[in-house]
Structure 1
Amino acid sequence: MAPTIYLHWSATPYNWVRSGLYHTIVAGDGHLHRLHSYTIDLNAHTWRRNSNAVAISCACMGGRPDPWSMPPTEAQIEAMCREVAAVARSWDWQAADIRIERVMTHAEAASNRDGRVMHDNYGPVAWGGTGERWDFMQLRKGGPADGGEELRRRVRALLSVEPDPDPGQPALAFRRRATMAARGTELAVEIDANGTSWALAADLLSLYDIPYEWNPAQRRILIGSTDIAPTYREDGVQASIGHPLFEMGLQGGNAPVILRGILRNDRAWCRVLEFAEEFGITAFFQPFALGERRGG
């Protein structure tokens, strides 16, 4: 059976991020927080529907007493639909595959509107439920109760054209090559237009003796280490950077994502300082250099 993508809202402020519940959380400004690999199941997002499933949630609807005082923003909805389209492409889905059986809101899932009776109806009261979950029944206050179908229409439209990460924004470019000191040796880096240093992920991992495995089909680097706690930083690499992305995540458990980087000429690059901060490596400045892993 094909997997299902479930679309949620978190009933929180726009900047809320917490791992363990959803694979990806979309902030109010459309920023994506990839928290867990899409290849694993999480067990707490959609009652009795957590297996063979992906959960994407918008951080919104946290207003009190009126949830609609903090509605889904257009930036969130657009980013969520783009992420659904990206996941669908990675699974070789076409526009015609975007049906309620494969992409559905929590309101629809709670009401069993895909025809599978998985539980009692705890969805919107208007759909005969108890009203416990009504995520994206509507996309805006007072709007029609066709939020799920509107979202699917938008995803189908995205799948009908070639992907464009951010129209009008040029892809990130490396401006010059350089070297920097890292653990007492020279590390080759590339400097982008913002002055950010990038290095090959394989070079950094090998330099610090961190075991890893590259999965080209999933564009993932799996890290075989137990002493890393991802920070889920606010400035994670986004698709708008204009290059295909890869993710670096921990093996086992709920496969938390440590960081994302870019694929350039079929090689995986990540930001040096972000790598250092995630892996507990001492960083020095003026000039920028890396020392040893703290505690290692």
Structure 2
Amino acid sequence: MAATIYLHWSATPYTWVRSGAYHTIVAGDGHLHRLHSYTIDLNAHTWRRNSNAVAISCACMGGVPDPWTIPPTDAQIEAMCREAAAVARSWGWSADDITIQRVMTHAEAASNRDGRILHDNYGPVAWGGSGERWDFMQLRKGGPDDGGAVLRQKIRAYLRGEAPASGSTGSTGGSMAPAPLAFRRRSTMTARSRQLAVEIDIHGTSWALAADLLSLYDIPYEWNPLQRRLLIGSNDVAPFYRDDAVQESIGHPLFEMALQGGSAPVILRGILRPDAAGEAAAAAARDAAGDATSGAAFSRAWCRVLEFAEEFGISVTYQPFALGERRGG
């Protein structure tokens, strides 16, 4: 079966998180819990459609007796659509590829509305089904049954780099753009017995340019500007799936660091910050030299130092915070 993204709700409270059924669960506040690699198949999210498929689910619609007492929030819907767009982008899809054959709600899949008759219709009664699954047929109580079409429109907008109109679903929970994470000072730290330039955010977390860290540890890489991805030429990295991974709520545009390959998993996510003094000139110099990894966005790609160390098996010491050698594992 062709690669497909399925959009679900879990029929639970907003805080429900459990591994096994879905690759990612979106909490009520829009926080993404990425539980499984998108490169593996899970067995129980969409009947007879689990192969070569990704399942993203909003934790909602668990009200009893009325599911709509816990409706999908705007924050959830936007986060789910952004994540679906990120998965599609990692597969090389464009906005034109976001069709019902490739991105479906569980309601649409259950009713075989993609034209593939894979099973009996267990979708919404309004679509001739048994009513067992009706995820996102509607985005709000009493609303039209165009939920899938609206979600695909949002995903297309994210793939085009557009910001979908906020509050357009009629559900609870606003979707105002978050304030960007603030940085308070520049500093240096020791990494592999050398000095590494870092910036400290308001929470005391150290960030460094991804290019500096990768070069310091002799890790080959290539910048893909279309996907906002740093592609890593390394075969000894086993990505974590972190609950504290960088989220859209950080308020900065994101980039992804991933292994090379068409459907390689994401290693970590970082941010694209406005050019600091000297970075724009350095990017221009790389451009003039014909460096394929250069570019304005690449020169602004920052990641959390400790997260980078943990993902790449780099030894860490504290007081003072310093990075050692890359030991792996």
Question: Between Structure 1 and Structure 2, how many residues are aligned?
Answer: 290
Q: CA deviation at 1:230?
A: 0.5
Cross-structure match for 2:118: 118
After superposition, give the CA deviation of every residue in 1:111-152 in whole Å (9 maximum; x if it has no partner): 012333232223234433344432112334555544324434
1:272 aligns with 2:288: no
Preserved contact between residue 34 and residue 243 of structure 2 (Cα < 8 Å)? no
Unpaired runs of at least 5, structure 2: 167-174, 274-295
Cross-structure match for 1:214: 222
After superposition, give the CA deviation of every residue in 1:16-73 in whole Å (9 maximum; x if it has no partner): 1537842x432221123456676x5745443444566553321334567765554322
Alpha-carbon separation, structure 1, partners of 2:4 and 2:238: 30
Alpha-carbon separation, structure 2, partners of 1:168 and 1:19: 31
Preserved contact between residue 36 and residue 241 of structure 2 (Cα < 8 Å)? no
For the structure 1 residues 88 and 194, does the alpha-carbon distance in structure 2 shift closer, same or farther, using more than 3 Å as the test?
same
Unpaired runs of at least 5, structure 1: none
Of 146-155 and 267-276, deviating more is: 146-155
After superposition, give the CA deviation of every residue in 1:205-242 in whole Å (9 maximum; x if it has no partner): 45446x554351431433634463514223x2223445
For the structure 1 residues 19 and 231, does the alpha-carbon distance in structure 2 shift closer, same or farther, using more than 3 Å as the test?
farther
Query: What secondary structure sits across from 1:248 in the alignment?
Result: strand
Cross-structure match for 2:10: 10
Preserved contact between residue 4 and residue 101 of structure 1 (Cα < 8 Å)? yes
Alpha-carbon separation, structure 2, partners of 1:93 and 1:231: 27
Preserved contact between residue 15 and residue 28 of structure 1 (Cα < 8 Å)? no
Query: What secondary structure sits across from 2:115 in the alignment?
Result: coil
After superposition, give the CA deviation of every residue in 1:243-279 in whole Å (9 maximum; x if it has no partner): 4422234568984433201245333321012223444
**Paired residue type of 1:214:** E
Cross-structure match for 1:238: 247
Cross-structure match for 1:93: 95
After superposition, give the CA deviation of every residue in 1:157-196 in whole Å (9 maximum; x if it has no partner): 7779843898665545655432101233322223345443
Aligned Cα RMSD in Å?
A: 4.2
Preserved contact between residue 48 and residue 119 of structure 2 (Cα < 8 Å)? yes
Preserved contact between residue 35 and residue 241 of structure 2 (Cα < 8 Å)? no
For the structure 1 residues 55 and 288, does the alpha-carbon distance in structure 2 shift closer, same or farther, using more than 3 Å as the test?
same
Preserved contact between residue 110 and residue 123 of structure 1 (Cα < 8 Å)? yes
Alpha-carbon separation, structure 2, partners of 1:202 and 1:6: 35
Q: CA deviation at 1:109?
A: 1.0
Percent identity between matched residues is 70
| Equivalent in 196, 203, 212 of residue 187 of structure 1 | 196
Of 79-88 and 3-12, deviating more is: 79-88
Alpha-carbon separation, structure 1, partners of 2:238 and 2:193: 23
For the structure 1 residues 245 and 144, does the alpha-carbon distance in structure 2 shift closer, same or farther, using more than 3 Å as the test?
same
Preserved contact between residue 183 and residue 292 of structure 1 (Cα < 8 Å)? yes
Q: CA deviation at 1:107?
A: 0.8
Query: What secondary structure sits across from 1:18 in the alignment?
Result: coil
| TM score, norm. by length of structure 2 | 0.67
Preserved contact between residue 236 and residue 328 of structure 2 (Cα < 8 Å)? no
Cross-structure match for 1:28: 28
For the structure 1 residues 157 and 201, does the alpha-carbon distance in structure 2 shift closer, same or farther, using more than 3 Å as the test?
closer
After superposition, give the CA deviation of every residue in 1:95-120 in whole Å (9 maximum; x if it has no partner): xx765344321111110123332322
Preserved contact between residue 177 and residue 251 of structure 2 (Cα < 8 Å)? no
Preserved contact between residue 21 and residue 42 of structure 1 (Cα < 8 Å)? no
Alpha-carbon separation, structure 2, partners of 1:127 and 1:20: 25
Q: CA deviation at 1:288?
A: 2.4
Cross-structure match for 2:323: 290
